Each structure stands twice: as structure tokens, then as C-alpha cells.
Structure 1
Amino acid sequence: MIGTAILLSAAGVASLLWASRSGPLLPLPFSARSAQWKAWRQRFPHAPREAVADFLAMFCAAFALRSYEKALLSPDDRVLGIHRALYPGEGSADSPQLAALASSLRQRYGLAVGEAWDEEVTLAALFELTGHGGMPLALARRA
């Protein structure tokens, strides 16, 4: 009885560990970079580092990236460029990753980004809309 419980617990832990490493790895050129925290600090000198880290963690969760990969994302990275690099065979029109990102932006920041993603939208542009990037949150919600 106790042996079965230990075995099931070990199997559960193993499956959680496996699930935590599943998902796509950030491809080149993103994965070849050093950490981009300095670029974020230069672009948004008054934004708390925690706000940037939380925003990037939300993005990574929506795209099923590993949490440590958030440091490799630059403010100038285009959302659709990252999507194409990760999921080259998928279109963006009905992408579950983009839908998850839109849902997270709505839930966490009250932003309605819509269904269609502009080709030029960067991570910096999205971060500005959260209110931490210099634009007051009240204005971001009206945009």
C-alpha cells in the first residue's frame, strides 16, 4: 500500500518534470543571444525590472516557452516574428498561442488587442500598453 503510494508519487513528479521541459525551445537567432535585460532597461528606464520580467513571463507562458527564455527576448522582437520562428507551419489567424497572449493581456492588464495581429507589433509596443512602459494605464486601456 505504502509502496504503491510512493511509486505513484514518483510517477507524478516525473510527469511534472517532463511536462515542465516540454514545449518548443526558442530557435535561432533568439537562443544565440545573451540576456536582453540591458536593452529593456535602456528602452524603459523607469519601468521596474519585475514589471518587465512579469510581462515576459506572461508572453513565454502564452507561447509555451521555458521561463528562463524570457531573458533572451528583446524589446524589438516582433510578436509575429517569434511566432513564425517557433511554429513555422502554422498561420497566425487561428493560432492558439496568439489567442492565449490576447487572453493574458486582457486578464492581466485589461487590454483588448483584438484578433488580428499587426505585422510590426513588437514586445516593446505591447509592454508600453501595459502602463509600465511609460504610457499611463488609463490611456492604454482606451487605446
Structure 2
Amino acid sequence: LADVTGGLGPIRHVDVAWVRARGVPDAGGWFTRRDQSGGGALVDLGWHLLDTVLPLLGPARVTHAIGSVSDDFVNDSAAHAAWRGGADTAGHVPGDVEDTARGFLLTDTGASVALHACWASHESLDRTTVTVHGAAGSATLRCTFGFSP
């Protein structure tokens, strides 16, 4: 993607998403407890997305950031990660972190980034996408990250 991005001209915007259909990790364990993890899907998945996207923008500094989070799935047993196996729910502590995070970043060069990271969604399959929009064209990488089935 980095090689292709070089031919797109100045980068104007990047859309990046890691959306799991079902994948709340270890509900009730340290992953879903703010006092132990510091956060949910953004802390777990979001930094991977930023680590992928920011080098594509070149030497740019993020000057503005805004975001929103939600927790519609974190305590829903149907949204637990199938690849984690059956969890022992004895003594289950409800999760208190976000399962979905959305953000919008603006750089000092005028480029923007829309970020979407979530552990569970209404999607039928996991998806990871990175779309880079440049002055001369765009390119999209569609794949899966992590333990996606």
C-alpha cells in the first residue's frame, strides 16, 4: 500500500477501519475492564490502525482530533470472540470499556483520517479496510487483521 500511495499525489484523506463481526475479547476479563486495560477497542485495535496510516501521511503532525465511542456489544454474550473459546462466566464482572470507537483526525498538512475500530458490529464478516485518497487517485486495501476467521 505504501508503494501504491506514492503514486496518488498529495494525500488528502485516509479511511481506515478494523471492524469485527463478533470479537469482544474475554468479556469480563482484563480486556474489558478500564481499571486494568485503560480502554477497549481503541486501545486494543486503534493503535494498529494509526500505526498503519500515519506513515502514509508522511511528515505530518496531528493537530485536531475528535471521536465518539459506544458500548452496545461489550456485555452481549453473542458478541464474544468465537476464537477465544468458551469463557467461564462465574464471577463475571461487566465490561466498562468501549467496544466501538470512531475518530476523525486533521493534520497540519490538511490531510484527514477517519478511523473506525470495533470489537463487534452488525457486519456478517470481519473486515479491515484502508482507503487512501490522493490528489491524483485513490487506492484501497481490503484484508483482515488479527484473529479474524
- Give the alignment's TM-score, normalised by structure 2: 0.25
The higher radius of gyration belongs to: 1
User: Where is the helix percentage greater, Structure 1 or Structure 2?
Assistant: 1
